[in-house]
Amino acid sequence: MKNLFYVLFLLFYVSAFSQKSLNSYQYAIVSAKFDFLKKSDMYQTSSLTKFLLRKKGFDAFLSTDSLPKGIYENRCAILFVNILSSSGSFVTKNVVEFRDCNGVVVYTSKVGKSRKKEYKPAYHQAIREAFKDVKIQEYKKEPLLVGNLDSIAKASKKELLAKNSDSINGAGNQNETTLNAEPISNGYKLVNAIPKVVYTLLYTSTKDLFILKEKKGILYLKKSKWIAEFYENGELIQKVLKIKF
């Protein structure tokens, strides 16, 4: 019961702050290629977005950057940032979209507009205008909140994950079925030998990090092992999956 209380409190804490404020997020990972452009960082749009996020106080990175060690220990302190476009013939329109570690939209900025004719200055002006959004301007990183989350998580993690530790370290994992990864438009289907779809993986802007659709969790690569992490009946579960891509 005590463990369940810790988990429920942690879930409530994360949910409450992710819905109310950007301040509870420490990191921002910017997609290196936005969907409306043909190439990575075309017109330096991703680099500009990263620069503006850092200017506001985020620890911001491109999805292609080498990320700091330990960043995924606080996966739900990360925002995944994308720029969306609904540009017309005469007006370039961009918004900044923030998604959490589960792929849920946390916040979408106001529309930034530009009437410049050339692509690069138009996109840059529209993105800068979108960053003038009130909530983005009011962003102030709250490391104490992240620290509190860490403290709560660490207090219960040892007990909650004790039964999973052997499999994470490679023990008790010899009989795991290998799942075949079949590409779909936005990720992969993980199929067993029957064949039956066991999980659906959705892309994020970060290499080797996927959203685990059915479980509303995540899948990430750690020490050459694919680890699925999700909540089940209020308990944090970690499973090592054998996947053939």
Burial class (CB in 10 A: 0-12, 13-18, 19+), 152: middle
Q: How long is the chain? A: 245
Taking only the tens place, the pLDDT of each residue in 131-170 is: 999 999 999 887 534 444 444 444 444 444 444 444 444 4
Q: What is the DSSP letter of 148?
A: H
Amino acid identity of residue 153, one-letter, is A
Amino acid identity of residue 4, one-letter, is L
SS3 at position 84: strand
Q: Are 114 and 88 in contact (CB under 8 A)?
A: no
For residues 225-245, give the mean pLDDT: 88
Domain ranges of the chain: 2-143, 162-244
| Mean per-residue pLDDT over the chain, rounded | 80
4 pLDDT exceeds 60? no
Would you state the pLDDT for residue 166?
43
